[in-house]
Amino acid sequence: MSVDDRDMPAPSVEDLTGAGQIDADPFAAARLQAITTQEAIQQMTGADMRQHALKTFITLGLADSLDDDEFRTSDELAEICQADPQMMARFLYAMHAHGVLTTDERGNYGLTPLGQTLRPGGAMSAALGVITSPLWQQAGDNLAATICTGRPHSLNGEETPYPLLAADPGLAGMFDTFMSSRTTGLAATLSARNFAGFRTVADLGGGDGTLLAAILTAHPHLDGILIERADVAARTEHRLAEQGLTGRVQIIAGDIFDDLCPPADLIIVSSILHNRDDPANLKLLGNARQALEKAGPHAELWVVEVPLPVPGLHSHGIDLDLRMMSLFAGGRERTLPQYQNLLAQARLDLINVVPLPGDHHLMIAMTD
């Protein structure tokens, strides 16, 4: 139980909107004003060429042509990839600028840690695979139709892309890796928190188990429950077994919005609420509250999301909100006060908000 959190005063709505944070950043306004219209046009429309370049890096086999700590000349890489040497030299020059490649003292190229994630199964490779898949691309192409009709236009009548992922194991595997690579950064911060007062941690929609595995590994006194869709649960079971966690985790193939959660004194929902509308989330939160009440008054709910910033400011949440709009019926990012209100409707009190990497926030709630 994180006693420190409970001792903290409840956050005011001003704290929650991040207003203090904005005042404390004297460069935020300057950054917004400093950019000219032409620079903004270049930055916003240039993103597609960077995405093409990253995909091309994979297609050419460059990510596989260099071992860690290995450096090769531009001509060697052109020969390995059967490419035109001059074109290749220009392409490598660009990828160096993008931080995918580094150079040694002779000007030969090697992969940076970022470049290594472009290998098959790597984080950026999986992210690109998902984002440039026909399903994700169609969702973006149909955004205008989605805005006009109020419903995503690329889901074949489904509410979310998850049933479509289940029918496409290749894409589903990349989605798991994409989520897991993003969650790995959060898992280090979250698992460093104080879990001394907890016994059972339930991760609802816990994906491939990245977060739960990190927490259980760091805190050997804990047991875990992970509830997932049947297709994902089967892969997760295998993955957690590989990490030696089989005896400590109960994996349940179920529906986190409809099924009751077994009692747990810490329930985590990470990147779940933003996929659905308020009524669906209130069912999930109502079920979670019952499980927390059975566990005792010390029990906590941890919600991890990327809240929307105050109007006019950009954060990762702005892009994610349009992504949710295009791919999830009722999916949306919310402001911190909207999350506080949603939790209150499920009779859960928001007691603390902790900033996490990548514009994510941990919202800690307890039964009222």
Ligand X SMILES: C[S@@+](CC[C@H](N)C(=O)[O-])C[C@H]1O[C@@H](n2cnc3c(N)ncnc32)[C@H](O)[C@@H]1O
- Is residue 178 part of the contact set for ligand X (CB under 6 A)? no
Cβ atoms within 10 Å, residue 91: 21
Assign residue 316 a region: left if phi > 0, alpha if psi is -120 to 50, beta otherwise? alpha
- Is residue 229 part of the contact set for ligand X (CB under 6 A)? yes
Rounded CA gap, 77 and 91, in Å? 11
- Is residue 359 part of the contact set for ligand X (CB under 6 A)? no
Report 264-303 residues binding ligand X (CB under 6 A): 270-272
Measured from the CB atom, the residue of 56 and 184 that comes closer to ligand X is 184
Count of positions on this chain that bind ligand X (CB under 6 A) = 16
Measured from the CB atom, the residue of 78 and 261 that comes closer to ligand X is 261
Residue nearest to ligand X (CB): 205
Measured from the CB atom, the residue of 228 and 300 that comes closer to ligand X is 228
Amino acid at residue number 273: L
Give the range of 86-94, 119-127, 250-258, 338-346 binding ligand X by CB under 6 A: 250-258
Using DSSP's 3-state secondary structure scheme, residue 300 falls into strand
Among 115, 122, 152, 207, binds ligand X (CB under 6 A): 207
**Residue 238 token pair:** 């295998």
Instruction: In angstroms, give the least distance from the CB of 100 to ligand X.
Output: 25
Measured from the CB atom, the residue of 53 and 356 that comes closer to ligand X is 356
Report 156-175 residues binding ligand X (CB under 6 A): 162
Amino acid at residue number 127: A
Among 18, 115, 122, 205, binds ligand X (CB under 6 A): 205
Among 62, 100, 101, 179, binds ligand X (CB under 6 A): 179
Rounded CA gap, 148 and 7, in Å? 47
- Is residue 195 part of the contact set for ligand X (CB under 6 A)? no
CA 121 to each of CA 67, 132, 173, 272, 302: distance values in angstroms, whole numbers, following the listed order: 15, 15, 9, 24, 29
Give the range of 1-9, 39-47, 121-129, 253-261 binding ligand X by CB under 6 A: 253-261
User: What is the rounded end-to-end Cα distance, in angstroms, of the chain?
Assistant: 16
> What values do phi and psi take at 29, rounded to 5?
-65, -40
Instruction: In angstroms, give the least distance from the CB of 202 to ligand X.
Output: 12
- Is residue 339 part of the contact set for ligand X (CB under 6 A)? no
Q: What beta strand segments (E) does 69-117 contain?
A: 101-103, 109-111
Considering only CA atoms, which of 189, 352, 364, 187 is closest in space to residue 265? 364
Rounded CA gap, 280 and 230, in Å? 19
Give the range of 106-114, 225-233, 318-326, 344-352 binding ligand X by CB under 6 A: 225-233
Measured from the CB atom, the residue of 267 and 342 that comes closer to ligand X is 267
Cβ atoms within 10 Å, residue 43: 10
Q: Which residues contribute to the site for ligand X (CB under 6 A)?
A: 162, 179, 183, 205-207, 227-229, 232, 255-257, 270-272
